[in-house]
Chains A and B, each alone.
Chain A
């Protein structure tokens, strides 16, 4: 059974990564299809924005709609605000994806002005009936708004408005205030079609997804008894109270579907030798993925000296109401404690500077000014603490063999 079964598991993983299964959103799917159809079939240009929190299925929805169209009916242009960080790059990419450079030498190498006039002219040259329609997807739409003067957006929306060659612009974003980001002239050219997507909010939906991604379907080349065994196991997992509680917990922290996928991926990777997904496996993976208190582990890994500095820092922040501090202040506070209470603690300045720097490399404390000012000496650079005293207290209580003097000091910040 070995190899076939492995292939099956791998297929499941592929499905999780490609993330191409759309759940729900039937109404939205129809609506989107209508709009795109108008462009592809009747040559009417349009623009719209799909709005929804991260990982709720915006791209998936779009993909599933585009898949249902025939590939000859349109040309697809995909842009991503993270990749195409300025108008020039975006333009080049548009020209590349439309394969316009075949027409006229290597145009994509040209200057920005050349490119944009070329693109606009090509749009103008087309007409409603004869030209092939273009579907342009702008992922991370909000990032395109930060480009200078929003030139690209303006020109694109303008050519939509003036109904030249059929063009459908679809923006995907998670920012709810995206319309406010548009300039007035851009806003007035936008069709104000906005589609809101809602992420799953009920545990049943989540369990449904869980089931869908794990069930082995019939046409897999696995022996019947193995298949039955696995699928039965999945059914029993779903009805298990512990799994349901875990899902509720996951839903409370985030309704991002990629998180669920990640969890299932991990669980599949960590399958035990008897190749059965167990409740313990899932719950263990859930804890390691989302529930581990990394800050605590970090604090427990510090040496006593570094922990003492953290305590000084927290005391300082508490007394001075989260005012920034520099090394000198922390050193002063630490030395007062160390000299009074213990002969074992190091007080040599250079050593403590190093320990302080290590803490700042770990970003347990963050510098106030991001760029280092050369005119300020290292010892007087201002920092802010990103950890509160309670966390340090919890860490000290379970710290292995912490001297009791330090524990006492922790509770009273008077020195």
Chain B
């Protein structure tokens, strides 16, 4: 048992480490610290990503230290029930994997081991992070653990981004809501990250600019922290090389705005500054997108794209030269019907159709050889084509899995006018 002063010190530490979480810390404190030996049966912590759910609970358990036995499990790793139960038992019973008496494959065994183990005298907290990955039944069972073990010192904490109401009605848990930080909170938290060698006014000015441009598209604290770190280096560059003074904010803003624009288009993409610089280069982007494929493979990919996004009934109009005149009138009437084909995704086509379109768009005469056909297999191995079915059928079916940007870049490298052959783009 810990003394009252210890509890208050834990509470104060948490409050200083996690600003703007007083309500949640208070509730947790009331439930776990000052509540004496009786623990609540089941607590559900819910909140948007990076609102401090897991870190706060982990820290609380760390501070509680030896007075409680605890186990924190991330449910994403537990794709079988054995992988879920055994780590928990290992933590609670403080044994090694090799000392595990028996396999623990189901809840019955788990319960039996827990009942036999002499941990009833101690407080036990099991934390299940990302609990939406667990099965419905497991969640119900864990929420009733206290009732099943008949000990009031057992508590299960669920942590999830998903609303508790999405789970079964049967879970009787105490919900604790971690609300999203508002803009002032985020401003304050980011301010704590100020690099030591810069004055507070510069950093505040920077944050004003930063929050103004990024807050709209991203409210994820972790991501914002990362972006602020990247951008601040850029921001202070003119000051460092002496081309600008600290107080001249308009100039600083003008210098930083291209970087802001760039980063704004890379939110959540996990970019570093070098990446950002390289992404900005138009030529490199182009080369990255236009894959370095063999000549025929490029044509195959273009043909596959055309086959995926045009209905077979237009093939005749597009590729047979004699019917060119009819094309224009037909196209207008079919415009509305087709505009959705981009939206519903690529359609399946057969190998025959792919070959037919390939021969229609390639200008030179090529013989159909095994080498040529091997290119198709290469493409599907590369993941640019999706092969459907088991592949043993005589005419396999394919689907193109590449975006328009990529194919049009490839078309540019072989000087092929792609838009002419797409019903949508005409």
Are the CB atoms of B217 and A326 closer together than 8 Å?
Answer: no
Contacts of A303 in B (CB 8 A): 215-220
B177 touches A294 (CB 8 A): yes
Closest to A386 in B: B166
Q: Tally chain A residues at the interface, Cβ within 8 Å.
A: 63
CB distance from A63 to the nearest CB of B (A): 11
* Contact status A14-B345, CB under 8 Å: no
A-B contact pairs, 14 of them (CB 8 A): A7-B36, A13-B38, A18-B152, A92-B108, A265-B40, A289-B175, A298-B163, A303-B217, A303-B220, A304-B217, A305-B217, A329-B344, A344-B216, A361-B49
B216 partner residues in chain A, CB cutoff 8 A: 303-305, 344-345
> B399 contacts the other chain (Cβ, under 8 Å)?
yes
Structural contact, B401 and A377, CB atoms closer than 8 A: yes
Q: How far is the CA of A70 from the CA of B240 in the complex (A)?
A: 87
* Cα(A344)–Cα(B163), bound, Å: 31
A83 B343 Cβ-Cβ under 8 A:
no
- Which B315-352 residues sit within 8 Å CB-CB of chain A? 342-346
B interface residues, how many (CB within 8 angstroms): 66
Q: List A residues at the B interface (Cβ < 8 Å).
A: 6-7, 9-10, 13-14, 17-19, 54-55, 80, 82-85, 89, 92-93, 96, 256, 258-259, 262, 265-266, 269-270, 288-289, 292, 294-295, 297-298, 300-305, 326, 328-329, 332, 344-346, 348, 350-351, 354-355, 358, 361-363, 375-377, 379-380, 400
Give the contact stretch, choosing among B65-73, B260-268, B408-416.
Answer: B260-268
Given A13-B35, A344-B216: A301 and B162 within 8 A (CB)? Answer: no
Q: Are A301 and B179 in contact (CB under 8 A)?
A: yes
A379 to B166 Cα, complex, angstroms: 25
> Among the listed A83, A292, A361, A400, which residue makes an inter-chain contact with B107, where contact means beta carbons less than 8 Å apart?
A83
Query: What residues of chain A lie closer than 8 Å to B137, measured between beta carbons?
Result: 82, 85
Is B208 engaged at the interface, CB distance under 8 Å to the other chain? Answer: no
A18-B152, A332-B343, A380-B346 known; 18 new pairs, CB 8 Å cut-off, are A10-B36, A18-B150, A269-B31, A269-B35, A294-B46, A294-B163, A301-B48, A302-B48, A302-B180, A304-B215, A329-B343, A329-B344, A344-B216, A345-B217, A348-B265, A351-B267, A363-B132, A379-B345
- Docked Cα-Cα span, A89 to B105, in Å, equals 11
Q: Chain A interface: which of B10-18, B120-128, B140-148, B230-238? A: B140-148
State whether the Cβ of B165 lies closer than 8 Å to any Cβ in chain A: yes
Which residues of B sit under 8 angstroms from A361, Cβ to Cβ? 49, 161
Partner of A328 from the list B46, B48, B146, B343 (CB cut-off 8 Å) is B343
Distance, CA A355 to CA B264, complexed state (A): 13
Interchain CB contact under 8 A, B108 and A83: yes
* B266 near A351: Cβ-Cβ < 8 Å: yes
Q: B residues 266-302 with Cβ under 8 Å of A?
A: 266-269
Chain B residues closer than 8 Å to A344, beta-carbon distance: 216
Least CB distance, B41 to chain A, in whole angstroms: 6
- Residues A302 and B41 in contact in the complex (CB < 8 Å), given A93-B108, A362-B162: no
